Amino acid sequence: MSDQLHRPSEIQRGRIAYRRRQTIRSVLLAALSTAVVGVLLAVAVTGAPGWDRVRQSFFSPEVARRYLPDILEGLWLNVRLLVVCAVLALALGLLIATLRTLRGPVFFPVRAMATGYTYTFRGLPLIIVIYLMAFGIPGLRLQGTPGVLVLGGAALVVTYGAYLAEVFRAGIESVHPSQLAAARSLGLTYRQTMRHVVLPQAIRRVAPPLLNDTVALQKDVGLVSLAGPIDAVRAAQIGVAQDANYTPYIVAGVLFVLLALPLIGVTDWVTLRAARRQSAGA
């Protein structure tokens, strides 16, 4: 009896089959249109008068194989730098966002300094920050000055910390004030309220933009080569200088794209999940 109740009717089975056919048709049409566009682009590019010269200068298999090991070794430096800078930038951004949301006139100097920090480093180009920290700080000749790799990483941290601080602040301020009041009425301190009530909701709500900024950081770690460390970009630059061929840049670019694909996929999945949760809640 229960099987008959849960068994779909003939009309329902027809609707399911129709939707399945429509899905397959849409996928086939998308694949066909993509293939047609790809073929047209390939024909247009390879049929250009200067294609042979461009292929030799940018897509040489021999040059790619020659410099791939050096570029991979430099990419390992980029990966390590990305992990460290991402963690530190997230921590710094959360700290600055928390300072900017402090209430009361006694905290005005703290809020002013945090606001000035975010305004300054969100406006400064990252390249200028790297130059200032990697070349300006060693010029002071202070004892214990770290190397250019650490200073370049610090430039990435303070710059992206400013962007992430605004993302965190938006998440914190999206929590309704009544929840803070309810937590305080239950006897929780301000620190306990932020830790157990506000921050868990805020971080969950701003997870997609946080991941987007992490993807952007993954690209910008290549700018640390401006300070001198031999990362993937610097290794490619050395190869270009030695062979007068731009293929190493293409190799480095492809490796950066492959490195970003998993994180981009996670970002899209989190964004889609958040949108579905919001639609279900609405």
Considering the domain architecture, whether residues 152 and 33 belong to the same structural domain is answered as no
What is the pLDDT, as a whole number, of residue 1?
47
> Is residue 8 pLDDT above 80, yes or no?
no
Question: Measured between alpha carbons, how far is 59 from 47 in angstroms, rounded to an integer?
Answer: 16
Q: What is the mean pLDDT of residues 127-155?
A: 91
Whether residues 7 and 147 fall in one domain = no
Tell me: do 39 and 148 sit in the same domain: no
| Confidence at residue 152, expressed as pLDDT on a 0 to 100 scale | 93
**79 and 15 within one domain:** no
Same-domain status, 200 and 232: yes
Q: What would the DSSP string read from start to end of the chain?
A: -HHHHHSPPHHHHHHHHHHHHHHHHHHHHHHHHHHHHHHHHHHHHHTSTTHHHHHHHH--HHHHHHHHHHHHHHHHHHHHHHHHHHHHHHHHHHHHHHHHT--SGGGHHHHHHHHHHHHHHHHS-HHHHHHIIIIIHHHT--TTPPPHHHHHHHHHHHHHHHHHHHHHHHHHHHS-HHHHHHHHHTT--HHHHIIIIIHHHHHHHTHHHHHHHHHHHHHHGGGGGGGS---HHHHHHHHHHHHS-SHHHHHHHHHHHHHHHHHHHHHHHHHHHHHHHHHHH-
Least trusted range by pLDDT, from 5-9, 30-34, 76-80: 5-9
Q: What sign for the dihedral angle of Cα 57, 58, 64, 66?
A: positive
Residue 27 pLDDT: 87
19 and 121 part of one domain? no
Structural domain boundaries enclosing 132: 63-280
**Is 55 inside a domain boundary?**
no
Band of pLDDT at residue 83, cut at 50, 70 and 90: very high
Both 35 and 94 in one domain: the answer is: no
pLDDT of residue 247: 94
Which residue is associated with the tokens 């790297």? Answer: 130
Q: Is the pTM of this model over 0.85?
A: no
Whether residue 145 lies inside any domain: the answer is yes
- Rounded percentage of the chain residues whose pLDDT exceeds 90: 43
How large is the average pLDDT for residues 249-273?
88
User: Is residue 74 within 8 Å of 234, Cβ to Cβ?
Assistant: yes
Question: Is 56 inside a domain boundary?
Answer: no
End-to-end CA distance of the chain: 36
Tell me, what amino acid is at 223? L
Residue 4 has pLDDT above 90, yes or no: no
Establish if 252 belongs to a structural domain. yes
Position 53 in a domain:
no
State the CATH number of the domain containing residue 261.
1.10.3720.10
- DSSP codes of every residue in 12-59: HHHHHHHHHHHHHHHHHHHHHHHHHHHHHHHHHHHTSTTHHHHHHHH-
Pair 142, 182 in one domain: yes
The answer to whether position 57 is within a domain reads no
> Which of 262, 230, 221 lies closest to 248, judged by CA?
230
Q: Do 41 and 94 fall into the same domain?
A: no
Our count of domains for the chain comes to 2
Cβ burial 264-282 (10 Å sphere, 16+ → b, else e): eeebeebeeeeeeeeeeee
159-177: pLDDT as tens digits: 999 999 999 999 888 888 8
Residues 13 and 140 in one domain: no
155 and 215 share a domain?
Answer: yes
Question: Tokens 């329902």 map to which residue?
Answer: 12
Tell me if 128 is assigned to some domain. yes
CA distances from 153 to 51, 90, 220, 226 (A): 39, 14, 10, 11
* Pair of tokens at residue 45: 């590019």
The structure tokens listed for 47 are: 């049929």
The answer as to whether 223 is a domain residue is yes
Residues 132 and 267 in one domain: yes
